[in-house]
Amino acid sequence: MAARKKQRVTLRDVAKFTDVSVMTVSNVVNGKIKLVGNATREKVERAIKTLKYVPSATSRKLRSMREFSIGMIVMDHELSFLANPFISQLVAGLSNHLSQNNFTLTVQGVAPDMFRGASLFSVAGTDALCAIMSGTNAERQKNVSFLLDRHQPVVLFQDTLNAGRSGIAIVNQDDEAGGHMIATHVLSRKAKKLLFIRPNTEWPAIEKREEGIKTAIAKKRGAKLSVLKCDEGTFQGAQAALTEYLAENAMPDAILGGTDALGIAAMRCCQDQGYVVPDDVMVTGFNGFAACNYSNPSLTTVTSPAYEMGEHAAKLILQRLETGRFSSRQTLFPVTFKEGESA
Amino acid sequence: MAARKKQRVTLRDVAKFTDVSVMTVSNVVNGKIKLVGNATREKVERAIKTLKYVPSATSRKLRSMREFSIGMIVMDHELSFLANPFISQLVAGLSNHLSQNNFTLTVQGVAPDMFRGASLFSVAGTDALCAIMSGTNAERQKNVSFLLDRHQPVVLFQDTLNAGRSGIAIVNQDDEAGGHMIATHVLSRKAKKLLFIRPNTEWPAIEKREEGIKTAIAKKRGAKLSVLKCDEGTFQGAQAALTEYLAENAMPDAILGGTDALGIAAMRCCQDQGYVVPDDVMVTGFNGFAACNYSNPSLTTVTSPAYEMGEHAAKLILQRLETGRFSSRQTLFPVTFKEGESA
DNA sequence: TTGAAAGCGGTACCAT
DNA sequence: ATGGTACCGCTTTCAA
């Protein structure tokens, strides 16, 4: 009895066992049944079961020079980077569409200053990379250069860089229009003094929302905007910042949250101080995921097509891998105004 | 001028360019600087930059017989499988800890009847697999067998199968204790008629919560439990089911949501019918993520250590890959009662 | 319909 | 400190 090293069962083992060539087994495994006779096929299939053969994905990747895998990197201060519903929807759309096409998705969250060190870049074999980033234009530009140096197509979400180079595609939602809609709505309800509550972090999507709000306000005589930045974009952080703000300032007519979570935090904060929403103060959010129905009153917001954006990115990438070029370099998804009870 | 096929730059190219051996370049790339002289190292580093060399992760994987990658499969009816905060926290904890150890995580959601077909299994090279599953014991057992047939360590989350075989580890939170706590709390507040509202799907964690509730109730004279199953575990599904229930039944003293989302859905439903929470009816949830603060009144719930569970699983796996065995086969994380304003 | 051989790009192993 | 070579397990390519 030979010493049995614990070793992987390979195509060769199956071939030897069945007394056919390696290629025949490979063809059976890959379902290329046209290339294999019926009797041989069955024999091979039995052998595969008997020997409990499991193909090595890695070998196939190396030889075929394709990874069947996409990397998605999420730049976020928070450890629980997937808790953000925009991100989780985006990732789900991406992952699902890739799965349907026999690709996989490798996700990783990374702190802004650790971007380049992400293990995704060094250990994950990928055919293309997706990223959603915060930071200034210059910072993001540097990171994009880093991505492109990896000789892979890149898809950016919610980014304002222009896709000058042919290796990049950008998928955005129309945050500016969203900001405009939400501001226009509260203005039409006679709000004059608006407060935009947003994270302190530089974040392209938030800047766009703020721009949209400002545009709407500029058109309205007598309307005025203040902006409150929270150090942390969290629920508690927002409540702390707003409480401090209200201690020194009068209650505005409307508080516009940069995200749903910020809007709801603001709402609860006002309610705790005895204000009635929307009678004393209107409150709005941004993104329109499940949570906007959780508040009481329910949140007026703008819904994001995040899932669809993820799907779209997956389509773009698969096309790009097949044809060698992106079918479109910039995509702008419309957002939808969603009226709740809070404004 | 030679015809330039677009081709990957390899270690050999760098070696030739620098006039050193392939191994020397490999050692530089991998930071094994003790094995390389200073001058050579710098020469090689320059060449790497000049040629824009990017290592092939796949080749390394094949040769070293390690994938540096873990697969996580989430069985869910919903397309947006990551929207569930328990899942997103679990995945974040897993992903972050793996990243820190230069591993990556490949995630995939899959419909219950598509489990085996998931591309994760056929195209992702992984060292180990994680899964969270719904379905009956028998169904889940079959799927686990399928996982084990891939000759990889398996970690199950929130599962009641016993880890009989040495290839499996199970990481659970104490859902039964959680159910017990939450029921005990409302009972201590004089509730007699309780209603547990839960998804219709068979789901080990939910069954455990129900068991815990029942145990608490059995100890209390005069207390009675009804169970309401919603076809869909969604917000709207829950509200529809509850509305129908209330049309034919009196309002219970307390409604226990199987998840936070179900609890909040129930709360809003009651409020819309003019009931005051918690005065007319108490309401509770389960999981205690961000959303439990969104409702008004805030939700009394039980907090899940989901992030920590993900981290723990990552530790278990890395240890298992190093030592060849799981340091523990069953882990039970305690949950914490979190009193809000709703009960 | 089947098979033989080369080779994808690294690392393990051993020699110097 | 550096180099030579086999080889991980599959698919590509070409021959029969």
- Res A166: pLDDT: 79
**Which residues are bridge partners to A254 per DSSP?**
A194, A282
| Other Cβ atoms closer than 10 A to A234 | 17
Residue A95 to residue B107, Cβ atoms within 8 A? yes
Measure Cα distances from A342 to A297, A303, B144 in Å: 5, 15, 47
Amino acid at B103: F
B195: Cβ contacts below 8 Å, ≥ 6 apart: B225, B226, B227, B228, B245, B252, B254, B255, B256
**CB atoms < 10 A from the CB of A15, how many?**
18
B127-163 per-position pLDDT tens digit: 999 999 999 999 999 999 999 999 999 999 999 998 7
Q: Which of A91, A120, A150 sits opposite B82 (nearest CB)?
A: A91
Task: Name the minimum distance, in Å, from the CA of A218 to any CA of chain B.
Answer: 32
Task: Write down the pLDDT at residue B4.
Answer: 38
Report the C-alpha gap between A221 and A340 in whole angstroms.
26
Q: By C-alpha distance, which of A80, A147, A75 is closest to A111?
A: A75
Of A85, A99, A290, the CB nearest to B235: A290
From B252, B188, B179, B268, select the one nearest B220 (Cα to Cα): B188
Are the CB atoms for A228 and A291 separated by under 8 Å? no
Place of tokens 């509550």: A197
Does the structure show a pLDDT above 50 at A3?
no
Q: How confident is the model at residue A6 (pLDDT cuts 50, 70, 90)?
A: low
Query: How many residues make up chain B in this entry?
Result: 343
Q: Are A82 and B289 in contact (CB under 8 A)?
A: no
Given a cut of 60, whether residue A231 has pLDDT beyond it is: yes
Identify the pLDDT of residue B5.
44
CA–CA dist A261, A272 (Å, integer): 16
Among A311, A19, A52, A124, smallest CA distance to B79 is for: A311
State chain A's mean pLDDT as an integer. 94
Contact A244, A217 (CB under 8 A): no
Nearest-CA residue to the C1' of D6? B63
pLDDT at A235: 87
Residue A184 sits at the chain B interface (C-beta within 8 Å): no
Rounded to an integer, what distance in angstroms lies between the CA atom of residue A201 and that of residue A180? 21
Candidates A127, A195, A184, A122; CA nearest to A155 is A127
- Output phi, psi for B98, to 5 deg: -65, -45
CB B268 within 8 A of CB B239: yes
Residue B3: per-residue pLDDT: 34
Gap between the Cα atoms of B297 and B285, Å rounded: 12
pTM: 0.95
pLDDT tens profile B193-235: 999 999 999 999 999 999 999 999 999 999 999 999 998 778 8
B96 reaches A (C-beta below 8 A): yes
> Cβ-count burial of A221 within 10 angstroms (0-12 exposed, 13-18 middle, 19+ buried)?
exposed
Q: Read off the tokens for A218.
A: 């500029």
How many Cβ pairs closer than 8 A exist between chain A and B?
187
pLDDT tens-digit series, residues A321-332: 999 999 999 999
8 Å CB contact of A125 and B56: yes
Q: Pick from A52, A104, A289: which is nearest to B124 by CB?
A: A104
Is A152's pLDDT higher than 90? yes
- H/E segment holding residue B302: strand B301-303
- Do the beta carbons of residue B157 and residue B316 sit within 8 Å? no
Count of Cβ atoms closer than 10 Å to residue B282 Cβ: 23
CA–CA separation, A167 vs B34, rounded Å? 38
Mapping DSSP onto H, E and C, the string for chain A reads: CCCCCCCCCCHHHHHHHHCCCHHHHHHHHCCCHHHCCHHHHHHHHHHHHHHCCCCCHHHHHHHHCCCCEEEEEEECCCCCCCCCHHHHHHHHHHHHHHHHCCCEEEEEEECHHHHHHCHHHHHCCCCEEEEECCCCHHHHHHHHHHHHCCCCCEEEECCCCCCCCCCEEEEEECHHHHHHHHHHHHHHCCCCEEEEEEECCCCHHHHHHHHHHHHHHHCCCCCEEEEEEECCCCHHHHHHHHHHHHHHCCCCCEEEECCHHHHHHHHHHHHHCCCCCCCCCEEECCECCHHHHCCCCCCEEEECCHHHHHHHHHHHHHHHHHHCCCCCCEEEECCEEECCCCC
- Give the C-alpha distances (Å, rounded to integers) separating A151 from B43, B211, B316: 23, 54, 35
Residue B63 CB lies within 7 Å of the nucleic strand C: yes
- DSSP-derived 3-state class of residue B7: coil
Q: Which of A3-17, B123-137, B139-153, B163-177 bottoms out in mean pLDDT, i.e. has the lowest?
A: A3-17
Measure Cα distances from A144 to A131, A328, B40 in Å: 9, 18, 31
Backbone phi and psi for residue A177, each to the nearest 5 degrees, phi listed first: -60, -40
Cα–Cα dist A118/A111, whole Å: 9
- Chain A CB within 8 Å of residue B38 CB: no
A54 and B150: CB-CB below 8 Å? Answer: yes
B123 phi and psi angles, rounded to 5 deg: -110, -15
Q: Tokens representing A99?
A: 């799965």
Those residues with Cβ within 8 angstroms of residue B44's Cβ, 6 or more apart along the chain or in another chain: B14, B18, B20, B24, B25, B28, B36
Percent of chain B past pLDDT 70, that is, above it, reads 98
Confidence of residue B165 (pLDDT cuts 50, 70, 90): confident
* Mean pLDDT score, B276-303: 95
- Mean pLDDT computed over every residue of chain B: 94
Nucleic acid strand D: bases within 7 A of protein CB: 1-5, 7-13
Q: What percent of chain A has pLDDT over 70?
A: 98
Query: Average pLDDT of B5-32?
Result: 90
- The answer to whether residue B243 neighbours chain A at the CB level (below 8 Å) is no
Q: Give the mutation candidate from A58, A68, A262, A270 for the B interface (greatest B CB count, under 10 A).
A: A58
Distance A206 CA to C11 C1' (A): 47
Q: How far apart are CA A30 and CA B188, in angstroms?
A: 62
- Farthest CA pair distance, chain A: 93
Beta-ladder partners of B196 = B227, B256
Using a CB-CB cut-off of 8 Å, the residues of chain B touching A259 are none
Measured CA to CA, the distance from residue A320 to residue A311 in angstroms comes to 14
Helices B175-188 and B204-218 pack at an angle, to 10 degrees, of: 40
- The answer to whether B290 touches A235, Cβ cutoff 8 Å, is yes
Q: What angle do CA B52, B54, B59 make, to 5 degrees?
A: 150
Q: Helix axis angle, A22-29 relative to A38-51, nearest 10°?
A: 80
Identify whether the C-beta of residue B201 lies closer than 8 Å to the C-beta of residue B172.
no
Angle of helix A306-323 relative to helix A85-100, nearest 10 degrees? Answer: 40
Tokens 């159910």 sit on residue: B179
d(CA B210, CA A126): 43
Write the CB contacts of A201 (distance below 8 Å, at least 6 apart in sequence): A77, A134, A233
Tens of pLDDT, residues A31-40: 998 888 899 9
Is residue B87 scored above 50 in pLDDT? yes
Residue A94, min C-alpha distance to chain B (Å): 10
Residues of B in contact with A118 (CB under 8 A): 99
Nucleotides of C under 7 A from a protein CB: 1-5, 7-13
Cβ pair A72, A88 in contact under 8 A: no
B chain contacts of residue A81, beta-carbon cutoff 8 Å? 92
Instruction: Give A 134-163 residues with CB within 8 A of chain B.
Output: 149-151
Q: What is the pLDDT of residue B235?
A: 87
pLDDT(B6) > 70: no
Beta strand A104-110 pairing with B104-110: antiparallel
Strand partners for A257: A197
A220: number of Cβ within 10 Å:
15
